[in-house]
Every structure is written in structure tokens, then in C-alpha cells.
Structure 1
Amino acid sequence: MDPDKLSDLYNELGERGAEDVVCRAIEELAVRLTHCERLWRHNDMSNLRKSSRSLIAIADQIGMTAMANIARDVTLAIDAEDQPAIAAVLFRLIRVGERSLTAIWDQHDLSV
């Protein structure tokens, strides 16, 4: 997590607005991570790339820098048509994403 990004979000939107954005982003990230895995299993690289790109934007918005960077790596592997790299990086994204989302849920005592 990038605490400066979160701080900026709270300063810009206030506590209530920032909490709403963070909650919605976390929910959307969880859904999209699952969707990415499904797309990979169906070998739908075009939509996997789109979904990975959307993960970048959402993760960046709430300061989840590592997750955004790994999602970028997924898109690069797709662009390179490197199937083993796609699988490896995608499952790294899922592992990091799940750990990050769990940490945020625990920290903010959120329920999805």
C-alpha cells in the first residue's frame, strides 16, 4: 500500500467518501481477480488483457502499487504471447492480490 496515495484520497474526498471509494475498489478488485483466472482458464487472452488493465487503474487509485505493477506485468506477458510467463505472473497477481485484499479487509474491518 502507498500511504501517500491513500492520504491524498482521504484529503480529497473526506473520510466517508474515501472509505466508500476504497470499499468499492476492494470489491471490484476481488471480482476482477477471479474473472482474470476464469479468462486465463478459457484461454481468452484479449479479455484477460482488458481485465488486467482495469486492475491496474483500480489498484493505482487506492495505492496498491505492487498489485498494479504485477497486473502491468500480466499485460506485458500477454503482449509478448509468452504463455508460461502469463500463467506465472497471473498467479503471482492472484496470490499478492488475495493477501493484499485480506490485509485491507482486516485493517479496515470491512465485509464484502
Structure 2
Amino acid sequence: MSDQQQHWTKTELQIYILMLCANADSNVTEEELELIKSKTDKKTFDKMYEEFKGDTEEESLEKIQDNLVMHEYSHKELTQLRKEMFEVFFSDKKFSMMENTLDKILDNILY
């Protein structure tokens, strides 16, 4: 993790959140990665993937919280983000207890 806070675009933040969702059960599948890649361009995906790989879950949540306050999200945007989070959670046809816990944590951060 870098000491300097990164200021991400909404798209970068979205991709980072989806990566955290994919990793919630500590098992990132190829399907999850492909789904996330389909939401952005290769450069943005690669940048955020490299950032994500070096972070603990606690660091990830802190970065998400820090970046969320820099953007004003409409209710519609948040609803769309939640929908995409659930697409990642359910891409393996399961919703594990760890994914459920992360969903509740992110719900508290987002709203």
C-alpha cells in the first residue's frame, strides 16, 4: 500500500470495489475477473488490479471509504453499483457467509 492517498475516478473506484467483492470468499475465479474486466478498459483494470493485490481487506475498505467521500453518487448510481456487486457475488452461483458479511460492510460504507 502506498502512503499517499490515491484519488480515483468513479470507474476506478467501481472496479476496486468489485475486486474486493470477488475476493470476499478468498477465491477469485476467472468468471469473476472476466465480469469485472467487462466493466472497464484494460488499462484501468490493470491499474486497479495491481493496486488491489498489494492491499489487505482493511486497507481496501479504508481506501474505498476515503474515495467514496470524494464523489457524489446519485441513488441511481449506487443502485447500479450494488447490482454489479451482486453480479460478482453470485457469479459462482453461491453467496457465502464471507460475501454476505462484506456486503453488509460495504452497504454501511456506501450509504
Q: Please say whether Structure 1 and Structure 2 have the same fold, judged by a TM-score greater than 0.5.
A: no
Work out which of the two has the higher radius of gyration on C-alpha atoms and give 1 or 2: 1
Which structure has the highest helix share of the two?
A: 1
Give the number of the structure with larger relative contact order, counting CA–CA contacts within 8 Å between residues 6 or more apart: 2
TM-score by length of 1: 0.28
TM-score by length of 2: 0.29
